[in-house]
């Protein structure tokens, strides 16, 4: 939806989970010299001001990255994520938050490719300017669900697809399933990472089970629940990431990280996490 702006939510607890996992997956992909292609179907602007009016309106980053910024007990993989956020803030102050394209730009190597899709005209313009002449990067102002078809399989037969639409309407849930089903027919061995919000919608609750049916070669599902919805049942209680063909190291890494994030980011006594996988 063109009205959606991630700047309102930049650096919140959902971003912490998503980008911690993304950092872990990209680090794993980098262990092999063979190049790969990362495809972000809903890329956003690439970076967001935490001092601007969008981020300041609800201050969601205060319950996310702010809780980690100055801690000295971060687990190694969380420290890696936080250090990348700090790298994005060279002045040493927490003024900007990197979006997924920025994490990719910081971690992808010269031989790798980056394919970004963003429909919002303002965010697309900012993203294109940010990536500029970055080697191997291409930015498209077309629908990411549709654009994915032309990006898989990459010639190297190695790739990561990140899919994190706004889910503001009901249609995105079905489009996630449809786009992944078609992509897997073209590129079954790819790594596919889907982020989803934990909200009071049937579609959100059933999405992980629907994704399981698309993953005959194995999957991993991590969810972090940190707050209680408001009195009317609205609000982002937490979020999850579902990975098809996950790195084999990911489960054990998350098993040590999710309890920590639950303790640090939890906003009520019932804060909890879920970690499950199927290995084929």
| Between residues 91 and 170, the one the model is more confident about | 91
Instruction: Give the per-residue pLDDT at 232.
Output: 61
Residue 85 confidence (pLDDT): 98
Longest dimension (CA), the chain: 51
Asked if 44 and 6 touch (Cβ cutoff 8 Å), the reply is yes
What does the pLDDT look like over 75-110, one tens digit per residue? 999 999 999 999 999 999 999 999 999 999 999 999
pLDDT value of residue 8: 84
| Residue 167, CA distances (Å) to 115, 176, 237 in order | 21, 10, 15
230 as an active site residue: the answer is no
What is the reported pTM? 0.96
CA distance 3 to 75: 37
**Residue of 80, 164, 252, 263 marked catalytic:** 164
Domains defined along the chain, listed by start: 6-278 (3.40.50.150)
pLDDT tens digits, residue range 102-148?
Answer: 999 999 999 999 999 999 999 999 999 999 889 999 999 999 999 99
Mean pLDDT of the chain: 94
pLDDT band at 231 (very low <50, low <70, confident <90, very high): low
């Amino acid at each position: 939806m063109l009205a959606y702006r991630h700047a309102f939510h930049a650096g919140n607890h959902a971003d912490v989970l998503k980008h911690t996992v993304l950092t872990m997956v990209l680090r794993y992909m980098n262990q092999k010299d063979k190049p790969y292609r990362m495809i972000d179907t809903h890329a956003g602007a690439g970076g967001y001001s935490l001092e601007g009016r969008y981020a300041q309106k609800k201050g969601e980053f205060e319950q996310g990255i702010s809780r980690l910024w100055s801690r000295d007990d971060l687990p190694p993989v969380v420290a890696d994520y936080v250090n990348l956020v700090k790298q994005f803030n060279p002045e040493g102050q927490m003024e900007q938050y990197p979006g997924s394209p920025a994490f990719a730009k910081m971690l992808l190597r010269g031989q790798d490719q980056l394919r970004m899709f963003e429909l919002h005209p303002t965010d697309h313009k900012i993203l294109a300017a940010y990536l500029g002449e970055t080697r191997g990067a291409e930015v498209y102002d077309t629908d990411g669900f549709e654009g994915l078809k032309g990006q898989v399989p990459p010639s190297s037969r190695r790739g990561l697809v990140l899919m994190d639409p706004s889910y503001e309407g009901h249609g995105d849930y079905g489009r996630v399933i449809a786009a992944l089903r078609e992509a897997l027919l073209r590129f079954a061995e790819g790594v596919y990472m889907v982020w989803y919000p934990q909200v009071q919608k049937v579609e959100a609750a059933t999405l992980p089970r629907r994704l399981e049916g698309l993953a005959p070669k194995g999957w991993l599902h991590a969810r972090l629940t940190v707050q209680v919805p408001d009195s009317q049942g609205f609000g982002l209680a937490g979020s999850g990431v579902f990975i098809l063909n996950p790195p084999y190291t990911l489960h054990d890494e998350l098993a040590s990280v999710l309890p920590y994030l639950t303790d640090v980011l939890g906003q009520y006594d019932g804060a909890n996490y879920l970690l499950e996988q199927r290995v084929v």
